[in-house]
């Protein structure tokens, strides 16, 4: 069975083509209208399609023929491309298969975003449709059209047409003429008119001069409508017509082009000739201006314009030698990254300040011994930490520090917040005693007993204690074991180093998306061999829960939350994962069938946001209308349409219902 186009829909498409093809001598500013596929053959979902059919796609405007190739007009049998050739004429691209299609097979046709119009604009997205072949070929016929004082467009425009297919002919009068009727294989004065292909056909469009002193006014509008006052087919010469542009939801009026060049709305036009006027509507968008000196700001998503209600993440990145201090303009505070909601044109400035440039010197003094510095540098950055280790000369032992350091441990840490002078003091060893020098970085070592010198043969117990964020690794020097504590027998001067390693926690996954009130398993590892246990927590209050085993349960409120894995041995060591819990919209019913011009009530629920409001729209052009409360009004044309409920809190979240509109008993189908 073949799918026939709605006569009313075709009439609207052809009217757009007719007006788009008119020419005049008045300069115009073209409206920026994205190219789109408005008609296909076979239609989407068509069945019993002839195996020798041509596959066509008709656009809403003239396209760049060089972009219509077998790479941008693709026909697939399953995963196998169909060989063929692509041609373009008028507004229609035709794919001619190299050999007849396979009977009883589903084919998928795609027009990709690689196609462009004459001003390089692309489709909003790939246009895809499917059809199923029958088991026999079908006869194909030619359609020849003729016109004097005017022209005729064919929709679709093809060299051959399947028997029984319907072609819409539109008569376009030349300036000063009007259409009077058809002759040949078509009669009557209906314009446009559908023609059923029952054989090779020849049709002539007849035109006559316009009666003096009356003119036509043609208005074009996409994403909106135009009201004419008075609303007439023709107007007396010199009469004034008021035009009012009415934008569709989510759009605003941009200006008039054609025989009226103005941004005033309503606007008036004087009928001194046939007039063609286009109302241009553009989406409601806002700009985001970013300023930064001594740094940069990134925005995600990165776009020139943003739809109303969209949320943008701003991240301040300081230049080398600077640090971020806060936001000003339409964002305040010092949170980085920061979120901004686009409910108007916004300007934001990221402020940065110069880092402190101070460096300091460290002078060490030692007699009867030496001092090592780690790191050993001439100067040190403000805030850096230096470890000093006292090394006594033979026959001496270390007794303590003085100056900008104190204490008796032979290794000491100095924080460089000014110029420093430190003296290491040494004393002569008593007979038959030995020194024990202990070195530790990122930790400390206690000695039992703690003495400056030890009798020969005595035993000293060394206990390593790691600094926050570290764990003990092993001993080196005069002791090479991993046990802690360790016992050292003093039969000579000893040098022992306690080695510590950085403790880290690694969580997986690092980022994830979890639906409202559902769960996600996290894992974490700790590289501390002494204690690998993990303590799980959720950073935000009301951000969900996480079990002792890392099983996260999302809250009932949408947002961005953080799950933290902390080392049980060291609460300062942790890793954090970012969890996005999105808003959920549910529409009811999901599918329904109603008669043309009937109504159906839809409802929608929003979970995860305190704002449970939704906006209602009909996705398909000519697919009916829906009120702010979800009451859908079916169009007068049967078909499959889609009603959408979009979250007011987040315009990127919606749910869609499918509506099958069927013809009622009172509907007369025009063939």
DSSP string, 133-146: E-SS---EE-EEEE
Residue keyed to tokens 């509008």: 221
pLDDT reported for residue 212: 67
Residues 6+ apart with CB under 8 A from 531: 567, 568, 569
Q: Is the peptide bond before 299 cis (omega within 30 degrees of 0)?
A: no
From residue 435, how far is each of 14, 407, 431, 497 by CA, in Å? 102, 17, 12, 14
For 53-101, the pLDDT digits (tens) are: 899 999 999 999 999 999 999 999 999 999 999 999 889 999 999 999 9
Q: What is the mean pLDDT of residues 314-335?
A: 93
Instruction: Report the alpha-carbon distance of residue 57 to residue 92 in Å, rounded.
Output: 6
In this predicted structure, the answer to whether residue 9 has a pLDDT above a threshold of 80 is no
pLDDT for 237: 86
Lowest mean pLDDT among 260-264, 392-396, 429-433, 656-660: 429-433
Res. 25: pLDDT tops 70: no
pLDDT (0 to 100) of residue 81: 96
Spatial CB neighbours of 172, under 8 Å, sequence gap ≥ 6: 18, 21, 22, 150, 151, 152, 153
**Selecting from 3.60.15.10, 3.40.50.970, 1.10.10.60, 2.60.40.60, what CATH number does the domain 505-581 have?**
2.60.40.60
Q: How far apart are CA 518 and CA 555, in angstroms?
A: 8
What are 218-271's pLDDT values in tens digits?
A: 999 888 999 999 999 899 988 999 999 999 887 889 899 999 999 999 999 999
> Are 615 and 639 within 8 A, CB to CB?
no
pLDDT in tens, 97-132: 999 999 999 999 999 999 999 999 999 899 999 999
Model confidence over 504-542: pLDDT tens digits?
999 999 999 998 899 999 999 998 877 889 999 999 999
**Bridge partners for 602 per DSSP:** none
Question: Encoding tokens for residue 490?
Answer: 């003093």
Structure confidence at residue 239 (pLDDT):
92
Task: Tell the burial category of 474 from Cβ atoms under 10 Å away from its Cβ (0-12, 13-18, 19+).
Answer: middle
**pLDDT for 569 beyond 90:** no
Say if residue 318's pLDDT is above 70. yes
pLDDT (0 to 100) of residue 546: 95
pLDDT at site 432: 80
584 burial level (CB within 10 Å; 0-12, 13-18, 19+): middle
Tens-digit pLDDT profile for residues 405-431:
999 998 999 998 889 999 999 998 876
Sequence-separated (6 or more) residues with CB below 8 Å from residue 295: 316, 317, 318, 319, 322, 324, 350, 352
- Joined tokens for residue 78: 């399953």
Q: Which residue shows structure tokens 């759009």?
A: 251
Report the alpha-carbon distance of residue 208 to residue 396 in Å, rounded: 124
| Tens of pLDDT, residues 607-649 | 988 899 999 999 999 999 999 999 999 999 999 999 999 999 8
- In 10 A of CB 119, how many CB atoms? 11
Nearest CA to 205 out of 43, 343, 40, 18 is that of: 18
Specify the pLDDT at position 310: 86
What is the H or E stretch that residue 113 is in? none
pLDDT, tens digit, 9 for 90 and up, residues 177-216? 999 999 999 999 999 999 999 999 999 999 998 776 788 9
Domain 584-662 has CATH 2.40.10.10: no
Q: What is the pLDDT of residues 574-614, one digit of tens each?
A: 999 999 999 999 999 999 999 999 999 999 999 988 899 99
**Predicted confidence band of residue 309 (pLDDT cuts 50, 70, 90):** confident
- The residues, ordered by sequence, that sit 6+ positions from 363 with a Cβ below 8 Å of its Cβ are 419, 420, 421, 422
- pLDDT of 29 > 70? The answer is no
Residues 6+ positions from 185 with CB-CB distance below 8 Å: 195, 201, 202, 203
CB 340 within 8 A of CB 348: yes
Give this prediction's pTM.
0.34
Arithmetic mean of pLDDT, 638-665: 92
Question: Predicted confidence band at 482 (pLDDT cuts at 50, 70, 90)?
Answer: confident
8-state DSSP, 275: E
Supply the pLDDT for residue 13: 40
Cα–Cα distance, 43 to 260 (Å, whole number)? 37
The CATH class of the 7-209 domain is mainly beta
CB atoms within 10 A of CB 655: 19
Band of residue 357 on the pLDDT scale cut at 50, 70, 90 = low
- CB burial readout 307-343, b (16+ within 10 A) else e: eebbebebebebeeebebebbeebbeeeebebebebe
Average pLDDT, the chain: 89
CA distance readout (Å), 236 to 217, 230, 247, 409: 11, 12, 29, 108
Q: If you count DSSP H runs as helices and E runs as strands, how many of each does the chain have, helices first?
A: 1, 66
HSE-up of residue 421 (Cα within 13 Å, Cβ side): 2
């Amino acid at each position: 069975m073949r799918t026939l186009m709605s006569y009313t829909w075709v009439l609207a498409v052809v009217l757009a083509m007719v007006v788009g093809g008119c020419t005049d001598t008045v300069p115009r500013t073209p409206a920026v209208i994205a190219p789109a596929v408005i008609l296909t053959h076979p239609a989407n979902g068509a069945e019993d399609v002839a195996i020798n059919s041509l596959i066509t796609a008709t656009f809403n405007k003239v396209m760049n023929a060089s972009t219509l190739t077998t790479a941008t007009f693709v026909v697939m049998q399953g995963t196998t491309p169909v060989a063929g050739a692509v041609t373009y004429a008028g507004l229609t691209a035709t794919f001619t298969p190299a050999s007849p299609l396979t009977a009883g097979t589903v084919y998928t046709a795609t027009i990709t975003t690689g196609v462009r119009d004459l001003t390089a604009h692309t489709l909003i997205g790939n246009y895809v449709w499917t059809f199923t072949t029958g088991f026999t070929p079908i006869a194909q016929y030619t359609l020849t059209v003729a016109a004097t004082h005017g022209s005729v467009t064919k929709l679709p425009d093809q060299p051959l047409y399947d028997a029984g297919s319907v072609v819409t002919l539109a008569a376009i009068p030349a300036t000063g003429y009007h259409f009077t009727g058809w002759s040949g294989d078509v009669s009557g004065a209906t314009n446009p008119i559908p023609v059923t292909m029952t054989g090779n056909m020849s049709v002539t469009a007849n035109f006559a001069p316009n009666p003096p002193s009356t003119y036509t006014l043609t208005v074009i509008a996409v994403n909106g409508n135009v009201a004419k006052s008075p609303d007439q087919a023709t107007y007396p010469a010199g009469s004034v017509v008021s035009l009012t542009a009415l934008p569709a939801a989510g759009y605003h009026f941009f200006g008039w082009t054609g025989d009226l060049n103005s941004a005033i709305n309503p606007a008036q036009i004087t009928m001194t000739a046939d007039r063609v006027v286009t109302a241009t509507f553009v989406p409601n968008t806002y700009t985001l201006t970013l300023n930064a000196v001594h740094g940069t700001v990134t925005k995600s998503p990165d776009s020139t314009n943003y739809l109303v209600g969209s949320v943008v993440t701003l991240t301040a990145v300081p230049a080398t030698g600077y640090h971020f201090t806060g936001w000003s303009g339409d964002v305040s505070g010092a949170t980085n990254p920061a979120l901004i909601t686009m409910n108007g044109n916004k300007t934001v400035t990221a402020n940065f300040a110069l880092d402190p440039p101070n460096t300091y010197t460290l002078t060490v003094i030692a007699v009867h011994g030496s001092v090592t510095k780690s790191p050993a540098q001439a100067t040190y950055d403000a805030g850096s930490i230096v470890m000093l280790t006292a090394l006594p000369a033979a026959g001496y032992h270390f007794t303590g520090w003085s100056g900008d350091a104190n204490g008796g441990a032979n290794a000491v840490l100095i924080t460089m917040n000014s110029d420093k002078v430190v003296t290491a003091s040494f004393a002569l060893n008593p007979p038959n005693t030995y020194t024990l020098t202990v070195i530790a970085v990122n930790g400390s070592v206690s000695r039992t007993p703690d003495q400056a010198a030890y009798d020969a043969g005595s035993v000293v117990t060394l206990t390593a204690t790691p600094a926050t964020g570290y764990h003990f690794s092993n001993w080196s020097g005069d002791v090479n074991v991993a046990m802690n504590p360790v016992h050292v027998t003093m039969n000579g001067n000893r040098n022992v180093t306690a080695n510590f390693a950085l403790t880290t926690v690694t969580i997986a996954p690092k980022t994830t998306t979890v639906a409202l009130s559902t769960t996600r398993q996290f894992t974490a590892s700790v590289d501390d061999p002494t204690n690998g246990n993990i303590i799980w927590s959720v950073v935000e209050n009301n951000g969900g829960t996480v079990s002792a085993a890392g099983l996260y349960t999302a809250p009932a409120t949408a947002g961005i939350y953080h799950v933290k894995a902390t080392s049980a041995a060291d609460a300062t060591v942790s890793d954090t994962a970012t969890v996005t819990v999105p808003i959920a919209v549910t529409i009811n019913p999901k599918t329904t069938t109603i008669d043309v011009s009937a109504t159906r009530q839809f409802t929608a629920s929003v979970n995860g946001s305190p704002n449970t409001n939704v906006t209602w729209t009909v996705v398909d052009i000519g697919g009916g209308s829906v009120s702010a409360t979800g009451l859908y009004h079916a169009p007068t044309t049967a078909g499959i349409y889609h009603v959408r409920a979009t979250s007011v809190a987040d315009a990127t979240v919606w749910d869609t219902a499918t509506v099958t509109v069927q013809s009622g008993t009172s509907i007369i189908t025009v063939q």
